[in-house]
Structure 1
């Protein structure tokens, strides 16, 4: 049976939080269990240095993200789980395809245009002030990540759809000029994936500093949940669950029956303190087992490293022959061939 090749990258710039889990980690791990899917998950550490300048943060984030995926049960015998920087063929392909990528295409990238617009808004005489080649060429590296494993499906957020369109354009050019046989990957946007609000009611994001990390200790988890912004309705007054961050987070983890019971509590006027305490207890119970596994993994970095090395070997079994084929196609091969 032919399997669909699905690839997902995770940028190593922060500590995984509840929003990451319900929006990306949980659905990705579930998808990897399908018999008709070959999943590739990689830690995008080269992408991280586009914005992150703290080496220790990137190093720690790599360890935390790897431990998080493993703690939630990613089957690395079935899925290929690796570190981007362990696959040298990615960077080689990045250069090869950049030589066939029009600068005008990169000029239209949303992130680059936003940076140029910011410079213009600030009155800078240089529209490219502070813009690195890493930011400018980010879509090309993303294309290399995808094409080096000939992925067919790439789950992305709406803000990444343009990058997939660029990848298809680059793959098409390579196929036309060098007959390399790249798949033209499709973006997969899950409109039903959960997006959680953070402590202040805005989307949970490291950028807003409003996240609830997945594996903070119990006391810290309770403290963070108690800080979640609510309105001033008193105990006994009916509350609208659909405009409440507490209910939103609870619903992302609970069963339908539990959600209905919680909705009834809101309508009956439960106190905010009571609802926050119950959310803490529910989440703490849900995360207790993976938290213990996560701590065990962090205390055994050699095991994590071994898993990533095995994943890299599995990936390179595919990327190495592909790059040999591409080198041959573009004319870089032994003289006597």
Structure 2
């Protein structure tokens, strides 16, 4: 049975882009395939951005609640917190750190992107070694398929290079070479309120798990041009319409498209339609999410069971790696 692994950082509540691009398609694969699925909350990775441990813990609950609200079957998948296998994953990451060339890591897109934005003295080492820890997340479980967006493809290539390097050094197939899995939903561009890719760092998110009032404000802040109510509008060059296409039915999209082309239909009406569509489409998920957040003991139980399964597999794999690497510190 092939193994598939998906991780999402606990830097905040999953936004609409996370839900449409990662959570929904990943759950479809996990619940309706013969894959052995590993889904983890990357709270160790989150430390590169968020330094408040309490905030990371709260965000972890929100991430787990979102996955469960959208129907992840924890009987078929292992849902766990990265820090619950910290001893195993960070030990493996250290081995990789010691054998992967520094110069290759400087070419990482994520590192170069952060380097442009930040002062060298403010950057932490975690940002630099991020791809190594990600490789350890994957190779610790010998995951073969990794659902990712296009911006993560280089990280999978780094994991493949590390796996190949260790296999050559040991002289046997110690690690399976992981393959990225790009599908339409995961690779698609989910625009934020400013039209750029939806991202917490850009503060352009639509959070379906906000209160009704907050969600409405977020949608009302979507950037539009200055065309008047009576003007005809281009449905292919509007951010409200772009988001509506992702959440509405085909008939609803066709109706709004006709209104744009005909004229006499304002952006305010379009935004209200988008808000009502989101409330309608995600009503069940929102209700489940709010219930779980109020009952964290349920989330703790699920994380405990997931950690137990993940830990057992991680320990067994790491012992196997140590023996083949002729390095058993314990």
Indicate the TM-score class for this superposition, using the shorter chain for normalisation.
over 0.9
4+ runs of 1 displaced by more than 6 Å? Answer: none
Which residue does 1:183 correspond to in 2? 176
Deviation at 1:96, TM superposition (A): 2.0
In structure 2, which of residues 302, 306, 324 is the aligned counterpart of residue 307 of structure 1? 302
Aligned to 2:35: 37
Q: CA deviation at 1:272?
A: 1.9
SS at match of 1:7: strand
| Deviation, structure 1 residue 113 | 3.4
Which secondary structure state, in structure 1, belongs to the residue aligned with residue 18 of structure 2?
A: helix
Deviation at 1:78, TM superposition (A): 0.7
Match of 1:63 among 35, 58, 61: 61
Aligned to 2:142: 150
In structure 1, the residue matched to 2:200 is 206
Mean CA deviation greater in 138-147 or 151-160: 151-160
Distance 1:217 1:116 in 2: 36
**Segment drifting more, 175-184 vs 81-90:** 175-184
Give the Cα–Cα distance (whole angstroms) in 1 for the partners of residues 29 and 216 of structure 2. 31
Unaligned runs of 5+ in 2: none
CA RMSD for the aligned pairs?
A: 2.0
- SS of the residue corresponding to residue 206 of structure 1 reads coil
Aligned to 1:135: 127
The residue number in structure 1 matching 2:11 is 13
- For 1:233, the equivalent position in structure 2 comes to 227
Partner of 2:105: 106
1:215 and 1:287 in contact (8 A); partners too: no
Distance 1:115 1:231, change over 3 A: closer
Worse-matched range after superposition: 163-172 or 183-192:
183-192
Matches within 5 A, 1:44-123: 44-87=42-85, 88-116=87-115
Task: State the SS of the aligned residue for 2:282.
Answer: helix
* C-alpha distance in structure 2 between counterparts of 1:131 and 1:230, whole Å: 36
- CA distance in 1 between counterparts of 2:13 and 2:252 reads 29
* Conservation of the 8 A alpha-carbon contact between 1:98 and 1:140: yes
Match in the other structure for 2:241: 247
Offset of residue 35 of structure 1:
2.4
1:195-246 CA-to-partner distances (Å, cap 9, x unmatched) read 2222222222112211111211112222222222222222232211111111
Q: Over residues 106-142 of structure 1, what are the superposed CA-to-partner deviations in whole Å (9 max), with x where a residue is unaligned?
A: 22222333455567xx8xxxxx533322122111111
Q: Output one character per residue of 1:8-39: Cα deviation in whole Å (capped at 9) or x when no partner.
A: 11011122111111111111111112322222
Q: Normalising by the residue count of structure 2, what TM-score does the alignment of the two structures yield? A: 0.92
Q: Shift in Å at residue 291 of structure 1?
A: 1.0
- Note closer, same or farther for the CA distance 1:217–1:130 as it changes in structure 2 (3 Å cut): closer
Unaligned residue ranges in structure 1 (runs of 5+): 123-127
Give distance in 2, aligned partners of 1:233 and 1:7: 46
CA contact (8 A) 1:242 1:248 kept: yes
How far has the Cα of 1:82 moved from its partner?
0.5
CA distance in 1, matches of 2:238, 2:116: 35
* TM-score (normalised: structure 1): 0.90
Q: Is the partner of 2:193 in helix, strand or coil?
A: coil
Q: State yes or no: 1:161 paired with 2:153.
A: yes
Distance 1:246 1:169, change over 3 A: same
Counterpart residue number, 1:125 = none
* CA displacement 1:236-257 (0-9 Å, x = unmatched): 3221111111111111112222
2-structure distance, mates of 1:268, 1:34: 42
